[in-house]
Structure 1
Amino acid sequence: MPGIPRPFAGDDADEETFDEYDEFRPDHLPDPGQFLRGADVLTGEEHCAFHRLTRDIFEERGVYDATFGYNLARLNLDSRHPDAGWRYARAPDGDGADEDVLLAEFTPTTEFCPQSDTLTVGAFRAWNGLSDRHGFDRVSVAVAPIHHESTDINEKLRNMERRLDDDGTVESPERSRESGERSRGPADDADSSSLPF
């Protein structure tokens, strides 16, 4: 995605800085947090396969980290931030639920990351808006509790998920504006499938 400013991306970010998408490097990933507790955390090739798919979905939907100027999936591979990125798990079966749900927990690079709200909402909309790309009925998203606004962000995500459960649709750009995600722009009259996130 060209044209994104990279105010904090250093010139030291050469190819040796990043792992490959087919490498599972737990020492370069955040530890699974409380959102994934009791769930079947993806590791090895299973983690890598879902993360490669995530890269493609985020690319299509424009889920980019503006601070670093790259597809948000690449944060998992950035050895400069070994405690940041995504971890995934299969939700445990319970209450007779027949849905196959993936849990995705995002750990930002800092506890005050100003993009955590936008990035997790964007990821939620991307995964669930393109649900035909993966084998899950739903992807449930949370930001790790290290973030100072994790409670508010996660409540917003649960509200979006309830709407998804109620009528099967991903929150529209209009509803996102009502909840303060972004202001009106010229792209709002376009087909929502072409909008970022």
Structure 2
Amino acid sequence: MPGFPRPFASEDASDETFDDYDEFVPRHLPEPGPFLEGTDVLTGDDHVDFHRLTREIFEERGVYDATFGYNLARLNLDSRHPDAGFRYAVAPGERNVLLAEFTPTTKFCPQSDSLTVGALRAWNGLSDRHDYDRVSVAVAPMHQQSTEINGKLRDLERRLRDQSDPPDSNADDGPSPPF
């Protein structure tokens, strides 16, 4: 990201380390976890299309992994971390709600809280960019603080749903939404 230092960026990563945004490579993605159980998990072009949009939204909103020094959406493409990243699914009975489960690279990832909150804010703050009324986010249960983080995310989502007006898509036009 221009203008931000990358103190922990991996210099050993080459373009060959990453899949293309137009590829769906299941072996480089985490298995869907319990948050997505019983849902229609996005695969193939459906996954690729939403993930390409995720890259754009995360770029605009600055959802970056400080450890790796890249847009968090790129984690899905990093072959060095095949069990980490986002998986997406349509909520059962709610065709306009997307579920996104984030699996961090380690069970003690210190950024999981801020990354999932950032993702939630980005997707829901720019909801005019996708076909879903709401995106619900969770961190995989393998993370040591998943219960606390997911509780916080549910609270933020409740606050989002309780707002009478949708979140403002221009963060610079006033105060941030309360979620």
Aligned residue in 1 for 2:134: 138
Contact 2:21–2:52 (8 Å) recurs in 1: yes
- What SS does the aligned partner of 2:108 have? coil
For the structure 1 residues 169 and 160, does the alpha-carbon distance in structure 2 shift closer, same or farther, using more than 3 Å as the test?
Answer: farther
RMSD over aligned Cα atoms: 2.3
Contact 2:102–2:139 (8 Å) recurs in 1: yes
> Does residue 86 of the first structure (1) align with residue 86 of the second (2)?
yes
- CA drift at 1:11: 2.3
Runs of 4+ in 1 over 2 A off after TM superposition: 2-11, 168-172, 190-194
TM-score by length of 1: 0.82
Deviations 1:37-92 (A, max 9, x none): 00100000000000000000000100000110100000000001000000000000
Larger Rg: 1
Among 109, 114, 117, the residue aligned to 2:113: 117
Q: Distance in 2 between matches of 1:111 and 1:191?
A: 37
Aligned residue in 2 for 1:106: 102
Identical residues among aligned pairs (%): 74
Within-5 A mapping of 1:45-64: 45-64=45-64
For the structure 1 residues 192 and 74, does the alpha-carbon distance in structure 2 shift closer, same or farther, using more than 3 Å as the test?
Answer: farther
Aligned partner letter, 1:115? Q
For the structure 1 residues 168 and 42, does the alpha-carbon distance in structure 2 shift closer, same or farther, using more than 3 Å as the test?
Answer: farther
- CA drift at 1:170: 7.0
Within-5 A mapping of 1:146-185: 146-168=142-164
Contact 2:28–2:81 (8 Å) recurs in 1: yes
Q: Distance in 2 between matches of 1:168 and 1:68?
A: 37
For the structure 1 residues 44 and 32, does the alpha-carbon distance in structure 2 shift closer, same or farther, using more than 3 Å as the test?
Answer: same
- What SS does the aligned partner of 2:86 have? strand
Where do 5+ consecutive residues of structure 1 fail to align? 173-187
Where do 5+ consecutive residues of structure 2 fail to align? none
Within-5 A mapping of 1:30-49: 30-49=30-49
- CA drift at 1:157: 0.4
- What SS does the aligned partner of 1:105 have? strand
The number of aligned residues is 176
Q: Distance in 2 between matches of 1:13 and 1:53?
A: 23
